[in-house]
């Protein structure tokens, strides 16, 4: 079993940010690659990217909607919530967790997944698999 945490980027009050749509597509693509290899994936995502994932037909097992600091998305808090969910649902620290994030945020996400005690890919492989996410002019 694998775990995946999808971090949102460039939130919009109305509609989906194109960044979150690209993150959702990358997460879905990586999830499907795992499933083709016979691996099941527990998918955790922040609310705004979770909505985009659901729109693409990728079921999210846990959506992070509450933060330790209201109004602030905190990579540490999201990773901690995901780790609690993973451990409660059968993932162990011997299992792999893939953080999917905008490359600027990927370094912090990678560090937090490692700090939580999970194995993950190298940063280079993460950047390669996630691909270009870009920014949102709005």
The better pLDDT of the pair 11, 63 is held by 63
- Give the model's pLDDT for residue 37: 96
Q: What is the value of pTM for the model shown? A: 0.88
41-46 β-sheet, strand order: 62-64, 41-46, 2-6, 96-100
pLDDT per residue as tens digits for the range 2-61: 999 999 887 656 667 888 899 999 999 999 999 999 999 999 999 889 999 998 999 899
Categorize the per-residue pLDDT at 116 as very low, low, confident or very high, splitting at 50, 70 and 90. very high
- Strands 2-6 and 41-46, by their bridges, are parallel
SS3 of residue 97 by DSSP: strand
């Amino acid at each position: 079993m694998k775990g995946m945490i999808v971090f949102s980027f460039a939130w919009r009050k109305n509609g989906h940010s194109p960044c979150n749509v690209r993150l959702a597509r990358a997460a879905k693509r990586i999830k499907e690659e795992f499933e083709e290899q016979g691996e099941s994936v527990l998918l955790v995502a922040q609310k705004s990217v979770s909505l985009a994932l659901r729109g693409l037909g990728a079921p999210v097992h846990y959506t992070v909607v509450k933060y330790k600091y209201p109004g602030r998305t905190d990579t540490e808090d999201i990773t901690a919530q995901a780790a609690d969910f993973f451990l409660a649902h059968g993932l162990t620290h011997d299992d792999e967790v893939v953080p999917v994030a905008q490359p600027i945020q990927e370094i912090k996400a990678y560090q937090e997944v490692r700090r939580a005690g999970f194995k993950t890919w190298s940063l280079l492989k993460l950047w390669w698999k996630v691909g270009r996410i870009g920014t949102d002019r709005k």
